[in-house]
Amino acid sequence: MISNDEFCAALRARGFGFVAGVPCSFFSGPIDQLTREGVYLPAANEGAALAAAAGAAVAGHRSAVIAQNSGLGNLINPLTSLSQTYKIPVMVFMSLRGWPDPSKDEPQHAVMGTSTHQLLDAVGIAHVTVPADADAQSFGAVLDRAEAEMASGHTVFVLTEKGAIAKHRSEGPEAVGLNRQEVLRAIESLLGEAAVISTTGYTSRELFGVTGSKQHFYMQGSMGHAAAFGLGVALRTPDTPVVVLDGDGAAIMHLGTMSTVGAAGPGNLVHLVFDNGTYESTGGQATTSHATDFAAVGRAAGYASARTCRTLDDVTDGLAGALRGGGPHLLHVHVASAGTTFSRATAAMTTTEIRDGFAGRLGGREHSVDA
């Protein structure tokens, strides 16, 4: 196993002074250390991380990206039209979730896990692998091979297997705010008539753990797309209140969706953003939410109303009013990072059962959406 010190020292020795990324638990230790060293930029999404690294590279700094392979899709556009087109060398460290055996990971990683290598091959990107049993010496040899590709002006991927790098949970920002589980319990009775979508991570785990409902849509993966999914639902079921339970890191990842929501103006949509300032389920790394006023963004994007909630009464009063219609409405709820003891919904249901349960909620009966 490669220690955090060994990973960061190897980058430092090779002159990498700029690292941008989106967290994965596989890289939790290096991200924490690189953040403390002042060289890590928390990017909104993987594509933005690559673009930032490319900019730093053109400015004369050796640059790297850290990301999870579930976000490879976000990377493809700047990878093919920026770094490859302009021949800007960047080293991309990417975790291999769902590989080599997707059955040993969560279902949202199965497709990308078995496709990562083929996708990189398809767009002509060189890649090397850090095996699970790597040590500092073998890691150095992998980086030597990667640097040889960079010397030719190529972006190269360093694919990293689970267990290759030591993990570390960041302390993150000070825990200030409501307890998310308490908020979910407080609003549970208000959600009875609504179609509920919850973002990936601990929010979906806790919604299922608290409510036990088999008619909510628990989104695993598709980070940042809960609001867009909810928008599609809201526009096609205008008589049903639709509540999206989002997270700060997820909302930031595709913040532009808020403009789409505001422009479409679904009166039945409520967008509730839990904000604890961290990517809690990937190791507690800090998001950039401290610099983002979600309520102000919501108002600027065209939401009918947007408010920040700091007490349980704020949340329940705000949600009760928003559910009366006239939306879209946004509720920004400050919560503390407290971890979770709940399992994912897919420990009790398959993904298609989650889909069909939610579809049944929308149609008033259980049915399959299979063609």
- The alpha carbon of 78 is separated from its chain's Cα centroid by a whole number of angstroms, namely 18
State which residues form the domain around 295.
Answer: 180-363
End-to-end distance of the chain based on CA atoms, in angstroms?
A: 47
pLDDT of residue 174: 62
Q: Both tokens of residue 12? A: 């430092």
pTM above 0.85, yes or no: yes
Same structural domain for residues 59 and 20?
yes
Q: Both tokens of residue 209? A: 């753990």
Residue 282's pLDDT band (cuts 50, 70, 90) = confident
- Domain assignment present for 155: yes
Same structural domain for residues 128 and 250?
no
Same structural domain for residues 120 and 232?
no
- Domain assignment present for 304: yes
In this structure, the chain runs to a length of 371
CA distance 201 to 280: 8
- The alpha carbon of 366 is separated from its chain's Cα centroid by a whole number of angstroms, namely 30
**With 70 as the cut, is the pLDDT of residue 126 above it?**
yes
Segment 282-288 shows an average pLDDT of: 90
**With 70 as the cut, is the pLDDT of residue 96 above it?**
yes
Segment 51-69 shows an average pLDDT of: 97
Number of domains the chain is built from: 2
Same structural domain for residues 200 and 252?
yes
CA distance 16 to 158: 14
pLDDT of residue 199: 97
Segment 138-159 shows an average pLDDT of: 96
Residue 222's pLDDT band (cuts 50, 70, 90) = very high
pLDDT of residue 214: 96
- Range in 31-45, 68-82, 164-178, 308-322 with the lowest mean pLDDT: 164-178
Report in angstroms the alpha-carbon separations of 12 from 7, 29, 160, 203.
9, 15, 19, 36
Same structural domain for residues 184 and 102?
no
pLDDT of residue 36: 93
Segment 190-202 shows an average pLDDT of: 95
- Domain assignment present for 167: no
What is the CATH classification number for the domain harbouring 318?
3.40.50.970
Same structural domain for residues 143 and 209?
no
- Domain assignment present for 192: yes
**With 70 as the cut, is the pLDDT of residue 151 above it?**
yes
- Domain assignment present for 193: yes
Same structural domain for residues 73 and 131?
yes
- Give percent above pLDDT 70 in the chain: 96
CA distance 367 to 358: 9
Residue finishing a domain among 160, 195, 224: 160
Q: Name the burial class of residue 313, with classes exposed (0-12), middle (13-18) and buried (19+) by CB atoms within 10 angstroms of its CB.
A: exposed
Residue finishing a domain among 126, 160, 194: 160
Same structural domain for residues 200 and 150?
no
pLDDT of residue 370: 56
- Domain assignment present for 171: no
Residue finishing a domain among 127, 160, 193: 160
Same structural domain for residues 77 and 216?
no
**With 90 as the cut, is the pLDDT of residue 175 above it?**
no
Same structural domain for residues 208 and 329?
yes
Same structural domain for residues 102 and 196?
no
Same structural domain for residues 136 and 186?
no
- Domain assignment present for 172: no
- Domain assignment present for 153: yes
Average pLDDT score, the chain: 94
pLDDT digit string, tens, across residues 259-268: 999 999 999 9
Report in angstroms the alpha-carbon separations of 221 from 111, 175, 210, 313.
11, 25, 20, 31
pLDDT digit string, tens, across residues 40-56: 999 999 999 999 999 99
**With 70 as the cut, is the pLDDT of residue 368 above it?**
no
Residue 365's pLDDT band (cuts 50, 70, 90) = very low
